[in-house]
Structure 1
Amino acid sequence: MESIKQTGAAAARTAVVWDALRAVLDERVAAQGRERLDIVDAGGGTGGFAVPLAGLGHAVTVVDPSPDSLAALERRAADAGVGVRSLQGDAADLGDLLPGDSADLVICHSVLEYVDDPRRALTAMAGLLRAGGVISVLAANPVATAIHRAASGRFDEALHVLGDPEGRWGDRDPTPRRFTAEGLAQLLSTSGFTPGEAHGVRVFADLVPSRLLDGEPGAATALAALEQAAASHPVLRDIATQLHLLGHRK
């Protein structure tokens, strides 16, 4: 499969996810016997994943509730010279917006934290997938939030995160919920998926000052390699800013 071009800090922060997506795309292309896959990006926003995937030749549909994000997506796709279909709507309403059994891959990145009902949203995504289809889930990790709050001197908030069932640091927390690896796996399992292994995303990337990446040749590449090595480390994974899981439709 053609490579996805990324540079700098963005490459380091997303290297683990792109590694997983490349493997999924290769597997689905081989299984389906066709190079062009049907991909739905639920809550895909401005197209950070959708546009590169479309650049690889896949048919990508982005569903997002924000018209401003969709407008930015269309500009981004035009600048890249690719076509991406955009639909305004919520993740839970995917079954009303798109036909069932029509997608090979569904992307659900930074969505479950904000939807009203994560299980309902995931069940709707499962309905879009063909047999053997895959979902890519990326969600915020409460342990990382506790570490970051403590590092900024907000010790009471860090303690609150560890005891809160939704992984929040307080009433002013803008993120409605966060997920442990075990919680994400259980949610996928009860929503029509067989979950795979969890990987940590941004274990170190959010701790490194951007000046170190901008000023040192090869620093971003080295950080990406470090992130890839840390992603499945049994300790480091659980302190990553985000957790990534793949789920196969049952």
Structure 2
Amino acid sequence: MLDIGPGQGTQALRLARAGHLVTGLEADPAMLAALRSAVAAEPADVRARFVALQGDGRETGRHFGPACFDVVLCHGVLMYVPDPEPMLAALSRVLAPGGLLSLVVRNGDALAMRPGLLGDWGGALQAFGSAGYVNRLGLATRADRLAPLTQTLTGICAPLHAWYGVRVFTDAAPDHAVAPGDPATLAALLDAEEAAGRTDPYRGVAALLHVCGLRT
């Protein structure tokens, strides 16, 4: 598995613990240092399954040969890339036939939802028809819409296999919010999000989209 922009390794390390061979390709030096520190704290068998490299996902050809990964993850990265197509083409190149390309992107068809739910009516009105937004870190970023993204995936020989909504009900929660302490309440919250993320029309207004393509 290849994880593009793994950050501190939250997802990538879980995969390595589950027995998968994982390569993390991180462009930011500070995040790469945090990732390597997190890997170093893992048991020896997990460390043996994990490689952390510095690099840009748009330049996978500098690091890897073609068709050498069964799964490529690119979660929460495309919103920082002005043009997603070079990145996606590079990721498709390193996917083996039948391999899974897993993307998590900001949902451009629902940019008005968060400001609207927070009572920011001016922000909601500006979001209609827009492809850009300012994220919670204060950075100007961009969103993807499902229909054009589906066309792009077809063009890079990794056509859409499935898609899901992420953070349908909880996106307006403040950054300092904590998960419910009661296990039953937390389980119900997660079940509700899971159901909404798989069900129309709810998944279409999710803050994020989880989009999966299969390499032909």
Is the structural similarity TM-score above 0.5?
Answer: yes
Matched, 1:43 2:5: yes
1:163-242 alignment, distance < 5 Å: 163-164=129-130, 166-168=131-133, 174-207=139-172, 210=177, 213-242=179-208
Match of 2:100? 134
| 2:121 matches 1:159 | no
Where does the alignment leave 5 or more consecutive residues of structure 1 unmatched? 1-38
- The residue aligned with 2:59 is 93
Deviations 1:121-166 (A, max 9, x none): 11101110111111001101134431111233322221221122x2
SS of the residue corresponding to residue 156 of structure 1 reads: helix
- Does 2:41 match 1:71? no
- The structure 2 residue matched to 1:53, chosen from 15, 18, 32, is 15
SS of 2:87's partner is helix
With over 3 angstroms needed to count, the CA separation of the structure-2 counterparts of 1:242 and 1:95, relative to structure 1, is same
Contact 2:112 2:127 in 1 (8 A): yes
CA contact (8 A) 2:168 2:203 kept: yes
What secondary structure is seen at the aligned counterpart in 2 of 1:218?
A: helix
Structure 1 runs (4+) deviating above 6 angstroms are none
What is the root-mean-square deviation of aligned Cα atoms in Å? 2.1
Counterpart of 2:113? 147
TM-score by length of 2: 0.88
The residue type paired with residue 59 of structure 1 is: L
Alignment partners' CA distance in 1, 2:27 and 2:150: 26
From the two aligned structures, give the one with the greater strand fraction: 2
- Count how many residue pairs are aligned between Structure 1 and Structure 2: 209
Aligned CA distance change for structure 1 residues 173 and 97 (closer, same or farther; 3 Å): same
1:113 match: secondary structure: helix
- Tell whether 2:209 aligns with 1:243: yes
